[in-house]
Structure 1
Amino acid sequence: MCFFYNKKLVRPSFMIRGTIMTTNQLMFMYAVEEMSFSKAAQKAFVTQQCLSNHIHRLEVSCGVKLFERTPHLQLTEAGKTLYQSFIQIRDIEEGTLQKLKTDTSSIHGTIRFGTHLNRARIFLIDPFLEFHEKYPDVELDVYFIHSAYTEKVLDEGTADVILGANCTALANTRADRIGEEDIVFLASPDLLKERIPDWDESRKTLTRKELSMIPLTASSNISIMAQNLHRTMLKAGFESKYIFKIEDNNAQMAICKSGKAAMFCPENQLIKADLSCHSEISSSAKLQVLKLENYSDFMSIDLITSAQRNLPTYVTDFCSMIRTYYQDQIQKVRAEYLPWSNNQYYSEITLH
């Protein structure tokens, strides 16, 4: 006998409106989501023995073992296969329900979107406002994740789409490269003149020797950009001096505007950016956007999805809106700040 607590059953995050599952299957999905029978039972408002009995019956009906209980709870290969099948069923159902509706305003669903906090601020707000006008009942759930976990979260269905940098398409993923960016250098006029006495504000480049004279703010060394730059400076015989390290680009920009340090950043950080900065010389001073001489390092921007899943149309629509917004804004950045730019990537892809 199975005893349910006198509470409303909470729908797991993987379920959608209208999904039909047996109780055995539902308890299995709770267990996978929590990877703990006790936590899964609490979430489903049943006893742990009740949940365990349902999973046992599912194992018997499938003729396979779904979980290894020791040394800790984990899915067997058969369990992983069953879980992936349920995720695919969810995707097919979401897509089918959407196709049955001609009015997008009546479509319900959720987009599970993974990215870095800094990219979320730049890439998601304006596209989401456009998307929300078309799909008012589709929710956007954003998860902040590291690119190293891309394949895992896509396979598990934790995320439908990941917006990453310098991503490589893995066996079970699709990579849609929406752009490639220059790495640029930002510094206040006061800092440049303080550290480089003969500095000319009309210059657009910086030598490596001059760079070694300037204190920097940056993200931690796990950043691909930071690692590449560090190797370049060491190869040239110079050491960069970092005085403030933090993952938040807004904090880096604030330090840069104060005139205490300079920073490297990808082009996307200049999208709708306010470059006004503190200056003892001018009340209208702005950060200078420069390029490091003889340094060529591009960063790709990629939208990653699972190659094994059929995503609803509203997910692909949102990705298309992100692509269009991003490429339009990068063109504006290039026109305003990067006169030296010879990256033809955007002019080529916008023709298609």
Structure 2
Amino acid sequence: MTDERGIRTAGRKEGGITFGGIATFMKVAETLSFSQAAKALGVSQPSVSVQIATLETACGLPLFNRRPRLELTDYGREFFHRARAVISRMSELDDVMRDLRELRRGKLTIGFSTPHYAMPLVAKFMATHPSVDIATRLGNTTQLIELIADCKVDLGIMSLPAPNPGLFCQMFAAPRLMIGVHVDNPLVGRRELSPDDIRHQPLILRETGSVTRQVFEATCREAGFDPRPFIVAGSNEAVCEAIAAGIGVGPIFDGTLREHQTVRLLPFGTIPETCGVYVVMAKEARQLPAVDAFMQIVQT
């Protein structure tokens, strides 16, 4: 059913109400003039007329009486009150988005397997952008890759043997692989250790999924033996404490632990140039303002 202007007066036409139509309606309702509304909006009067007609068609109701003068119908007044709330919420949303772009609010979730490398970066970010909330997740490299894939962290700081082709990866540190030994172990006098030097030592290894373990095992296998863990420890700190307790020796990347009175770290073998500590994220995450700001800190 339509009125004399061809506007549907029952039901809604497919296409729906647009925000542009609402904004034009509000300006016409405030000025009660198509020409003044057009001037305020910076568009032509015919454009305003078309938008209002399209909005009325979408609503299936006449919003304005055109004769004898332009005025809101009862439907138009009802629409006006509700549209004003929509405009207010959209303005609020625009403010929120601007705050997020300019890092006046927001949240950044960071996963890491190497606190020694991650925390100084986190501290610098927090000092530079105090309004952004930081959440952290600790895990090994395999766990962190899964968290990134599941969108549970925005970025990860982790050791990788080589960049993951499916993710954005930027290396910012290349520590050497070391072997931690107790100060009383005869090996402590060596300048550097080879796989043969530790072939018969009790080995303290990280859990499956740890890059430290992957790189160590690959180095040993190239030398002709398959290392078997005497004990498995779930973190670098646990490996260090097991070494300090005299349980055995274990691989640790240089720089991941603070000095320990009873543990010495000795260089071990040669690792690929691609092996290092990386910032890792989904490729599209690089566009997020907080992530971009964090990467600027990494690159300085």
What's the TM-score bracket when you normalise by the shorter of the two chains?
0.5 to 0.7
One of 253, 256, 259 as aligned partner of 1:274: 259
In the aligned structure 2, how far is the partner of 1:132 from the partner of 1:218? 34
Equivalent positions of 1:1-352 (< 5 A) are: 96-99=98-101, 107-116=104-113, 119=114, 121-145=115-139, 147-148=141-142, 153-154=147-148, 157-166=151-160, 168-171=163-166, 173-192=167-186, 201=189, 203-238=190-225, 240=227, 242-270=229-257, 273-277=258-262, 287-292=263-268, 295-298=269-272, 299-309=275-285, 311-322=287-298
Decide whether aligned partners of structure 1 residues 111 and 94 sit closer, same or farther in structure 2, where only a CA change above 3 A counts: farther
For residues 74-93 of structure 1, the C-alpha deviation after alignment (integer angstroms, 9 at most, x for no partner) is: xxxxxxxxxxxxxxxxxx99
On the 8 A contact 2:199/2:227 being kept in 1, the answer is yes
On the 8 A contact 2:175/2:276 being kept in 1, the answer is yes
In the aligned structure 1, how far is the partner of 2:287 from the partner of 2:129? 15
In the aligned structure 2, how far is the partner of 1:262 from the partner of 1:169? 30
Matched to 1:250, the amino acid is E
Structure 1: gaps of 5 or more residues:
1-91, 278-286, 325-352
| Deviation of 1:184 (Å) | 1.0
On the 8 A contact 2:205/2:231 being kept in 1, the answer is yes
Decide whether aligned partners of structure 1 residues 310 and 223 sit closer, same or farther in structure 2, where only a CA change above 3 A counts: closer
In the aligned structure 2, how far is the partner of 1:157 from the partner of 1:232? 33
Matched to 1:170, the amino acid is P
In the aligned structure 1, how far is the partner of 2:100 from the partner of 2:159? 31
In the aligned structure 2, how far is the partner of 1:111 from the partner of 1:206? 41
In the aligned structure 1, how far is the partner of 2:202 from the partner of 2:292? 43
Decide whether aligned partners of structure 1 residues 309 and 190 sit closer, same or farther in structure 2, where only a CA change above 3 A counts: closer
On the 8 A contact 1:191/1:260 being kept in 2, the answer is no
In the aligned structure 1, how far is the partner of 2:194 from the partner of 2:239? 22
Matched to 1:204, the amino acid is R
For residues 181-240 of structure 1, the C-alpha deviation after alignment (integer angstroms, 9 at most, x for no partner) is: 221112123122xxx6xx7x2x31224333123222111243343234334434534454
Specify the SS of the correspondent of 1:302.
strand
In the aligned structure 2, how far is the partner of 1:318 from the partner of 1:215? 41
| Deviation of 1:245 (Å) | 0.7
TM-score of the pair, normalised by structure 1: 0.49
| Deviation of 1:309 (Å) | 4.0
In the aligned structure 1, how far is the partner of 2:173 from the partner of 2:95? 32
On the 8 A contact 1:204/1:289 being kept in 2, the answer is no
In the aligned structure 1, how far is the partner of 2:151 from the partner of 2:211? 26
Decide whether aligned partners of structure 1 residues 207 and 125 sit closer, same or farther in structure 2, where only a CA change above 3 A counts: closer
Aligned residues: 204
Decide whether aligned partners of structure 1 residues 132 and 304 sit closer, same or farther in structure 2, where only a CA change above 3 A counts: same
On the 8 A contact 1:123/1:322 being kept in 2, the answer is no
Decide whether aligned partners of structure 1 residues 186 and 320 sit closer, same or farther in structure 2, where only a CA change above 3 A counts: farther
In the aligned structure 2, how far is the partner of 1:94 from the partner of 1:311? 17
Matched to 2:168, the amino acid is R
Asked which structure has the greater CA Rg, the reply is: 2
| Deviation of 1:125 (Å) | 2.8
On the 8 A contact 1:178/1:301 being kept in 2, the answer is yes
Decide whether aligned partners of structure 1 residues 93 and 148 sit closer, same or farther in structure 2, where only a CA change above 3 A counts: farther
Structure 2: gaps of 5 or more residues:
1-93
For residues 274-302 of structure 1, the C-alpha deviation after alignment (integer angstroms, 9 at most, x for no partner) is: 2211xxxxxxxxx332223xx31143221
In the aligned structure 2, how far is the partner of 1:114 from the partner of 1:226? 19
Percentage of identical aligned residues:
12
In the aligned structure 2, how far is the partner of 1:98 from the partner of 1:221? 38
On the 8 A contact 2:141/2:209 being kept in 1, the answer is no
Decide whether aligned partners of structure 1 residues 235 and 178 sit closer, same or farther in structure 2, where only a CA change above 3 A counts: closer
For residues 255-284 of structure 1, the C-alpha deviation after alignment (integer angstroms, 9 at most, x for no partner) is: 1122331111112314xx12211xxxxxxx
